[in-house]
Amino acid sequence: MNIPELQQKFNGQYKLTRQREIIFHTLTDHAGRHLSAEDIYNTVRQQYPEIGLATIYRAMELFNNLGIVQKLDFGDGCHRYELCDHHSRQHHHMICIVCGKVIEMAGYLPDKFEPDISHMNDFSILDYQLYFYGYCKECQSKYRK
Amino acid sequence: MNIPELQQKFNGQYKLTRQREIIFHTLTDHAGRHLSAEDIYNTVRQQYPEIGLATIYRAMELFNNLGIVQKLDFGDGCHRYELCDHHSRQHHHMICIVCGKVIEMAGYLPDKFEPDISHMNDFSILDYQLYFYGYCKECQSKYRK
DNA sequence: GTACATGCAAAAGATTTGCACTCTT
DNA sequence: AAGAGTGCAAATCTTTTGCATGTAC
């Protein structure tokens, strides 16, 4: 995904401001990372000190609505954002329910899984998120199964 | 899941208080619903007016750590809780990224999908959550794909 | 008796909002 | 010019925490 594609997604309705452009670049520069609004804020601030945190939240809401980012929840008290791209469809997250550790793993849903559902519910699917919950190696002894 | 099973999960370490028992019954009485802490609080309060909201949160954290409930995030500003049971492994959630509507759908991951991963990462999986994001029928016209 | 649990009120955080001002198109 | 977007500060809300007291085992 690049700036012209972003413009295209904006479809004339939303404007490509300097702030949104820098935020977008922050996301592409950290592809594969799980950035919180605060993380993005701190990064963008280095290049554009006047930026407000509210702008980050507003951009994330727009990007999420347009299917540009996924909003993730690992249960650590804030939402995290990750670009939607080919890569994002091929990894999932395992979260330790005791210590909160997040482990990424490769994998994708079986091909036939998704289209069926979409058709069944008049729901146009852009993306999905698959979370596995359990005990990481270190925490397996602390809580019983 | 019933009270003796709950006791067993507590494993002598955690106590079966009247509050936890009522909270637990609230969950079983509303199986299949997606209750927020506030929802649970309001329900429990009818039967046990002295209950504090903090107790709900503390119980939910414990139940989640013990694999009794799943903590869900539909992006509506609060976490929601649902009992883990056989049923919970057989449905997923579709969330409209525009209006936030949540649609449940039947389905489960292919059997062979899960164990591989667990083994691969020394991660003992209790449960998983699969979210699909897209546009519901009503919102498909508001934002472009 | 001893850990563990609770209620309350305060604190902490994340996210949202109102508003005057500015910028993209 | 006009609709959108922004920064700031205040407001909102959810969730957590400290502490004195109460309770299950």
Binning pLDDT at 50, 70 and 90, where does residue A130 land?
Answer: confident
CA nearest to B104 within chain A: A121
Kindly report the bases of strand C lying within 7 A of a protein C-beta atom. 4-10, 13-18, 23-25
Q: What is the mean pLDDT of chain A?
A: 85
Helix (H/G/I), strand (E/B), else coil: B83:
strand
Higher-scoring residue by pLDDT: A142, A67: A67
User: B42-73: string of b/e by CB count within 10 Å (b at 16+)?
Assistant: ebbeeeeeebeeebbeebbebbbbbbbbbbbb
Residue A86: per-residue pLDDT? 53
Please report, rounded to a whole number, the percentage of residues in chain A having pLDDT higher than 90.
Answer: 50
How far is the C-alpha of A49 from the C-alpha of A108, rounded, in Å?
Answer: 39
- Spanning CA of A131 to C1' of D22, the rounded length in angstroms is 39
Q: Is B56 left (phi over 0), alpha (psi -120 to 50) or beta?
A: alpha
Cβ A126–B97 below 8 Å, yes or no?
yes
In order, the DSSP letters of B117-131 are: HHHHTT-EEEEEEEE
| Overall average pLDDT of the B33-38 stretch | 94
Pair B52, B11: CB distance under 8 Å: no
β-strand partners of B96: B134
Stretch A102-129: mean pLDDT: 71
Q: Looking at residue A48, what is its pLDDT? A: 96
Evaluate if residue A144 carries a pLDDT over 60: no
Among A92-106, B3-17, B83-97, the least confident range: B83-97
CA-wise closest residue to A71 among B107, B121, B95, B24: B95
pLDDT at residue A145 in the model:
41
Say if the Cβ atoms of A132 and B128 lie within 8 Å.
yes
Binary contact (A124, B114; C-beta < 8 A): no
Residue B90 tokens, joined = 């057989």
List the structure tokens of B35.
Answer: 């209750």
Which DSSP state fits A143? S
pLDDT at A142: 55
* Cβ contact A32:A16 at 8 Å: no
The residues near A58 (Cβ < 8 Å, ≥ 6 apart) are none
pLDDT of residue B100: 82
At A128 the three-state DSSP class reads strand
Residue nearest to nucleotide D13 (CA to C1'): B77
Residues whose CB is below 7 A of strand C: A 7, 12, 15-18, 36-38, 53-54, 57-58, 61, 77-79; B 13-15, 17, 19-20, 48, 50-52, 54-55, 58-59, 62, 77
What is the rounded CA–CA span in Å between residue B92 and residue A118? 12
B15 touches strand D (CB under 7 A): yes
Structure tokens at B94: 């579709």
Tokens of B127: 């449960």
A115 CA: distance to closest CA in chain B (Å): 11
Torsions phi, psi for A8 (to 5 deg): -65, -40
The pLDDT value given to residue B126: 78
Rg of chain A on CA atoms, in Å: 17
Contact between A27 and A35 under an 8 Å Cβ cutoff? The reply is yes
Residue B120, pLDDT score: 63
Considering only the beta carbons, identify the residue of A79, A113, A126 that sits closest to B134. Answer: A126
The shortest C-alpha distance from B104 to chain A (Å) reads: 10
CA-based nearest distance A137→chain B, Å: 6
- pLDDT at residue number B145: 40
Tens digit of each residue's pLDDT (9 = 90 or more) over A36-74: 999 999 999 999 999 999 999 999 999 998 989 999 999
Is the confidence at residue B26, as pLDDT, over 90?
yes
- Partners of A67 on chain B (C-beta within 8 Å) are 97, 133, 145
Q: Which residue has the higher pLDDT, B55 or B99?
A: B55
